[in-house]
Structure 1
Amino acid sequence: MERRIRKALRLMDLTDYEASAYTALTSLVSGRAGEVGEAAGIPRSRVYDILRKLAEKGFVEVERGKPMRYHAVPPSEVFRREKKRINEVLHEAGVELTRIYEDQISRVPAPVWLIHGQEKIIKKEIEIISRSRHEFKMRMGFFFRGELKTLEPVLGRINDRGVDVRVMAGAEIRGLPCRVRIVEMPPVKMMVRDGEEMMWVFSRFTPDGSPIPETAIGIWNQYPEIAENYSRIFDTIWEGGRAGI
């Protein structure tokens, strides 16, 4: 059996013998237990039990008679059904683990992490934005290629939940589903969530002013005192006070 087929059938919770029997039966289309066992290389003493389990899992249909015949449920039907089931399992697990993670993250002793590289930084930005409950503030002294397009739907979701989303930018930007204000600022990014956590992002730049992705560094911390302080400074600048953080 091809390795990819065996791997896929294992993802569908089939044992090695069950995967071998189903694969053999797809080549036979239908057959008696002995024929399936011979084609799959399964001991005759095991084949009936394996076919019964395949029928219970929806991979095989049984035609009653003497002798009984077994028909393979078409792979297209099986894969469509199993993909839906696996996606539902992954979604439910992801929701539950995210709930546990977000509930516990605020209880972890306030640490500081360094995050290196554009891809990891943008993933952390999405994570911070998604955790917003009341307000999210961001200063965009620069942005990576494709970053605005990536963040737009995430900001839209929290905005729809009633989160107060404000973005200050050093140049005109379009398409973000939130309030945007143009403010002169250095090429540095900063974001603050609910006055509880924040991240600074720095980068080196090419001569034409584009950030160099591999040089980017994010400094993420969860010290509420620091986050709340920068949240207040953000508000001062937003309202037209001193320009610079």
Structure 2
Amino acid sequence: MERKVMKALRLMGLTDYQAAAYTAMVSLVSAGASDVAEASGIPRSRIYEVLRQLSDRGFVEVERGKPLRYHVVPPAEVFRREKKRIMKELDEAMNQLRRTYEDQVARVPAPVWLIHGQEKIMKKEIEIISRTRSELKMRMGFIFRDELRELRPAIERIVDRGADVRIMAPEDLDLPCEVRVVSMPPVRMFVRDSGEMMWIFSRFTPEGSPIPETAMGIWNQYPEIAENYSRIFDSIWYGESYGGAGGI
């Protein structure tokens, strides 16, 4: 347990001495510097500096006087504040890296990848959907287990941003967008902003369920191909005649 506590405090950015001093303060609640040094094993020559650092970080409060007295800030308050700070920093870093990734991914010289397995396909699917700016078109000839639960919040986010999301499926789906029931083969295809798309195939059990380990996705970033399939999707959606459209 003590090891986990020290690891958590280090994740918050405390040094070993700071973590040891805070842990000692939790057990003491209120104490002088010498008592903290004795309880934590920190040399007396360092304890005042360590406690000052903890005070600056909001882990302890200092009562002025002679000698100084220190009061611990309750762990629930500290952890709540630090979790909020860490999550904010992680979100900012993620958004910065995501923007860099999205700017660069279209410039990669090999814009077609094969993706194997349900888990990896679904992660890539959610990633592509999250990049949608104006429109997303999906033909869902089959559905992985628990996939709708993953898709729903991703689609809600882009719909809230104003994206037009249309889905064709062999049955009605509980998703926050327009869904049209259409007869189709057990093959998946979706197009994002007429510039990126993915085909998804799988083998099936005798009962008709996709076999996760056999699933394969073809991720395609050729805009010309994606735009062509976007037009085919529209021709079927609006009931127009389009050569070869029935095969998608």
Give the alignment's TM-score, normalised by structure 2: 0.93
Tell me whether 37-46 or 151-160 shows the greater mean CA deviation.
151-160
Q: Determine the structure 1 residue equivalent to 2:107.
A: 107
Contact persistence 1:136–1:163 (CA under 8 A): yes
Report the Cα distance in structure 2 between the residues aligned to 1:227 and 1:15, rounded to whole angstroms.
52
**Does the CA contact (< 8 Å) of 1:134 and 1:164 recur in 2?**
yes
The Cα shift of 1:209 comes to: 0.3
- Please, which runs of 5 or more residues in structure 1 have no aligned partner? none
Query: What stretches of structure 1 move > 3 A for 4+ residues in a row?
Result: none
1:229 aligns with 228
SS of alignment partner, residue 247 of structure 2: coil
Give the deviation of 1:160 after TM superposition: 2.7
1:83-108, CA deviations, whole angstroms, 9 ceiling, x for partnerless residues? 11111111222222222222222222
Residues 203, 211 of structure 1: 8 Å contact kept: yes
Cα pair 1:197 1:222 within 8 Å, conserved: yes
Aligned residues: 244
CA deviation vs aligned residue, 1:131-156 (integer Å, no higher than 9, x gap): 11121111111011121232122222
Q: Please report how far the alpha carbon of residue 110 of structure 1 lies from its aligned counterpart in structure 2 after TM superposition.
A: 4.1
Deviation at 1:179, TM superposition (A): 2.1
- Tell me how large the CA RMSD over aligned residues is: 1.5
Whether the aligned pair in 2 keeps the contact of 1:237 and 1:244 (CA below 8 Å) is: no
Which residue in 2 is equivalent to 1:135? 135
C-alpha separation between the residues in 2 aligned to 1:125 and 1:143?
A: 12
Per-residue displacement from partner, 1:8-39 (whole Å, max 9, x unpaired)? 10111100000001111111112111111111
- Report the secondary structure of 2:115's partner residue: strand
- SS of alignment partner, residue 243 of structure 1: helix
Q: CA-to-partner distance for each residue in 1:50-95, whole Å, 9 max, x for gaps? A: 0100010001111111111111111111111111111111122222
Q: Unaligned 5+ residue runs, structure 2?
A: none
Which residue of structure 2 lines up, in the alignment, with residue 200 of structure 1?
A: 199
CA apart distance, 1:178: 1.9
In structure 1, the partner of 2:64 is: 64
Look up the match of 1:150. Answer: 150
Matched AA of 1:237: I
- Mark the CA change 1:217 to 1:93 in structure 2 (over 3 Å): closer, same or farther: same
Partner of 2:247: 244
Q: Paired residue for 1:17?
A: 17
Do the aligned partners of 2:171 and 2:182 also contact (CA within 8 Å) in 1?
no
CA distance in structure 1 between the aligned counterparts of 2:39 and 2:160, rounded to whole angstroms:
57
Q: Residue in 1 aligned with 2:74?
A: 74
TM-score, structure 1 length as denominator? 0.94
User: Using the alignment, how far apart are the partners of 1:204 and 1:41 within structure 2?
Assistant: 62
SS of the equivalent of 2:194 reads coil
CA contact (8 A) 1:132 1:163 kept: yes
How big is each residue's C-alpha offset from its partner over 1:148-199, in whole Å with a ceiling of 9 and x where there is no partner?
2321222222223222211111x21232222222222211101111111111
- In 2, Cα distance between the equivalents of 1:123 and 1:237? 28
